[in-house]
Amino acid sequence: MKGANFVMHAAKGEIFDVDFEKVLSDYKLYRERFSFGGMEYNKAGPTINDNCVGCGMCYKACSFKAIEPDGDKYKVNTNRCDDCGDCQLVCKFDAIDESKEF
């Protein structure tokens, strides 16, 4: 066979770009998920739930700068989160739910 065509009807994927030297930006990871053809996916990273009391411990613990203020609470920026789990280790209020499968 000399040639072949490859057609993809549906897929999901992730762009994962790390800059550990922080040369190019003030954060070290850019992450973006995408899909086409009707496929669905979950966003990256854990989710901060209603138990959050806004203590800021997760914000201080996240070396990826992926936790941001959200009013008097906090939220995870899924485009910067590495899923390292450090925020869950420091939260004393059971306010950070596990990441879902891709």
Kindly list the residues in this chain that would bind ligand SF4 in the complex (CB under 6 A): 45-46, 48, 52-58, 61-62, 64, 66-67, 74, 76, 81-87, 90-91, 93, 95-96
Residue 13's φ and ψ, nearest 5 degrees, are -155, 180
Minimum Å gap between C-beta 71 and ligand SF4 is 11
Give the tokens for residue 67. Answer: 């936790």
Torsion on CA atoms 16, 22, 24, 28, rounded to nearest 10: 20
- Please give the Cα distance from 42 to 26 (Å, whole number): 26
Minimum Å gap between C-beta 101 and ligand SF4 is 15
Q: Judged by CB, which is closer to ligand SF4: 11, or 18?
A: 18
Minimum Å gap between C-beta 35 and ligand SF4 is 21
